[in-house]
Amino acid sequence: MIRSFLSVLLAVQFSFCPERPRMIRYFDYEFTQKQALSIAKDSLLDLGYKIDLSAPEGYFFLTKSQPVEKDIRKYNYRIAVVVEDRVEVVIVANRQIFKRDSEASIGGRDLIQTQTSDKLPYSLQRSIFYPIIDEFSRNGLVEVLDITLKNNA
């Protein structure tokens, strides 16, 4: 009886493995939309990011690609910022995958394949988002911790 209960409990425990969070954060602002975009852009420039694409009329910008490593995996990520009702900061990432010799082409070409990654390891997300959250907070953009509708009504 106890053994069967423990095995069921263990099976349930493994079925609820935590999933990495989405690579997005929201920030409230009390400025005009144009000012919030400017503050977000200046904050990321202060952190060392370089702007690759900017569309001020669409209240959007994208940073240049940044390489980052986790163990033996290599990732490239960009920060996309959209200012609407809130400032939305998204990590856009891809992962470099090294093919095995059996899958690689003769001559050494195509040994590295890039794959879009919608979820980076949580430790990488923290190392990217925490400086951004701190810089945005210093400049008046407040992180929204709960985006459910119960707090918006």
Task: Kindly report, residue by residue over 1-40, the tens digit of the pLDDT.
Answer: 666 655 554 554 444 445 545 789 999 999 999 999 999 9
Higher pLDDT, residue 42 or 105: 42
Q: What confidence tens digit (pLDDT) does each residue in 87-140 have?
A: 999 998 887 766 655 444 555 555 555 666 667 888 888 999 999 999 999 999
Angle at 34 between CA 31 and CA 35, to 5 degrees: 45
Report the predicted TM-score, pTM, of the whole model to 2 decimal places: 0.73
Site of tokens 């980076």? 120
Amino acid at 97: I
C-alpha triplet 50, 135, 59: angle, nearest 5°:
55
Instruction: Answer whether 20's CB lies under 8 Å from 125's CB.
Output: yes
Give CA–CA dist 29/25, Å, rounded: 13
Give the residue-averaged pLDDT of 45-68: 94
